[in-house]
């Protein structure tokens, strides 16, 4: 992540994540504009908006993706300013990001990868025997064949299988904040059901906060949503309760896009 200007954090001290007046650029220009977002501890949040609104970009910036430059604003996590921290340090602090298209890593067995990432978290260290038991129990809960653990990470996996691997990582790492970026993209009904169960288990057992990034409402049908945030053209234009999901499902984003256009023209 490149140079940045840190604004004072107008964060609720009880909030887990506070994004304050955040503006972000890539080579082609600025893509996020004065974004403000708060995620409370243990809450379930949804970031919605039309395609191209900047939702995934915001998720990657919160995670510390170095492809983006923070022009101004700040990101606070668990009471600390993390704006300048690298992605690996944010991960160790307790932030998790799932990807729309998880990458394949030839030569790295899935089991070895899982063991390695958990060993970097002192609070998650356990004996090899207990780790094997934990991983196999999670595989069973996710309808995932344990034989996949010996295969190279995501190599030759279907889209649904890759998402199951991400749910496996999520439940193993027990992050304080899980950002799920278009996790329902391309999934059939069965795979979506497995992912939904994984999310529900995370909510029940890990007590972590959730930020689901999506432009449709399929994955939200089994999730009790606390807060909904609507993004249009790189800025968040509305916040509301869980009932906002049903309104957007019925009416779409047209009203928010119109409001954003009128605001730009003012």
| 110 band by pLDDT with thresholds 50, 70 and 90 | very high
| 7 band by pLDDT with thresholds 50, 70 and 90 | very low
Tell whether the model's pLDDT for residue 229 goes beyond 80: yes
Lowest mean pLDDT of 15-24, 228-237, 251-260, name the range: 251-260
Q: What is the pTM of this model?
A: 0.89
Instruction: Kindly state the average pLDDT of the residues 227-232.
Output: 95
Handedness of CA 148, 154, 158, 162 (dihedral sign): positive
pLDDT in tens, 14-34: 799 999 999 999 988 999 999
pLDDT in tens, 161-217: 888 899 999 999 999 999 999 887 777 788 888 888 889 899 988 889 999 998 767
Per-residue tokens: 246: 């049903």
DSSP state string for 162-173: HHHHHHHHHHHH
- The region that residue 156 occupies, defined by phi over 0 for left and psi between -120 and 50 for alpha, beta otherwise, is left
Tell whether the model's pLDDT for residue 260 goes beyond 90: no
pLDDT in tens, 128-166: 999 999 999 999 999 899 999 999 999 999 888 888 899
Q: What are the extents of the domains in the chain?
A: 1-93+226-266, 100-213
What one-character DSSP code corresponds to residue 197?
Answer: H
Per the prediction, the chain carries an average pLDDT of 88
In whole angstroms, give the CA distance from residue 236 to residue 47. 9
Superfamily classification of domain 1-93+226-266: P-loop containing nucleotide triphosphate hydrolases (3.40.50.300)
The predicted pLDDT at position 72 comes to: 97
100-213 fold: Rossmann fold (3.40.50)
DSSP state string for 32-75: EEEEEEEEETT-EEEEE--TTSSHHHHHHHHHT-TTSEEEEEEE
The predicted pLDDT at position 182 comes to: 85
Q: Give Dmax over CA atoms of the chain in angstroms.
A: 63
141, 134, 181: which is closest to 164 by C-alpha? 141
In whole angstroms, give the CA distance from residue 62 to residue 95. 9
Examine domains 1-93+226-266 and 100-213 and report if their fold is the same.
Answer: yes
């Amino acid at each position: 992540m490149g140079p940045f200007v840190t604004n004072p954090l107008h964060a609720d001290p009880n909030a887990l994540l506070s994004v304050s007046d955040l503006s972000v650029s890539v080579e082609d220009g600025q893509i996020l504009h004065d974004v403000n977002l708060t995620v409370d501890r243990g809450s379930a949040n949804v970031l919605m908006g039309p395609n191209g609104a900047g939702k995934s970009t915001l998720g990657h910036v919160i995670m510390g993706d170095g492809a983006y430059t923070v022009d101004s604003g700040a990101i606070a996590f668990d009471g600390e300013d993390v704006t300048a921290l690298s992605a690996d340090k944010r991960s160790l602090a307790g932030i998790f990001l799932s990807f729309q298209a998880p990458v394949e890593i030839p030569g790295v067995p899935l089991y070895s990868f899982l063991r390695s990432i958990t060993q970097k978290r002192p609070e998650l260290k356990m004996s090899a025997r207990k780790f094997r038991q934990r991983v196999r129990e999670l595989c069973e809960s996710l309808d995932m064949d344990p034989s996949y653990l010996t295969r190279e990470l995501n190599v030759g996996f279907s889209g649904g299988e890759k998402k199951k691997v991400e749910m496996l990582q999520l439940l193993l790492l027990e992050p304080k904040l899980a950002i799920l970026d278009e996790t329902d993209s391309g999934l059939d009904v069965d795979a979506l059901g497995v992912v939904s169960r994984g999310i529900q288990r995370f909510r029940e057992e890990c007590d972590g906060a959730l930020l689901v990034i999506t432009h449709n409402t399929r994955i939200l049908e089994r999730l009790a949503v606390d807060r909904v945030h609507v993004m249009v053209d790189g800025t968040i234009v509305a916040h509301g309760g869980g009932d906002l999901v049903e309104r957007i499902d019925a009416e779409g984003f047209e009203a928010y896009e119109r409001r954003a256009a009128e605001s730009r023209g003012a």
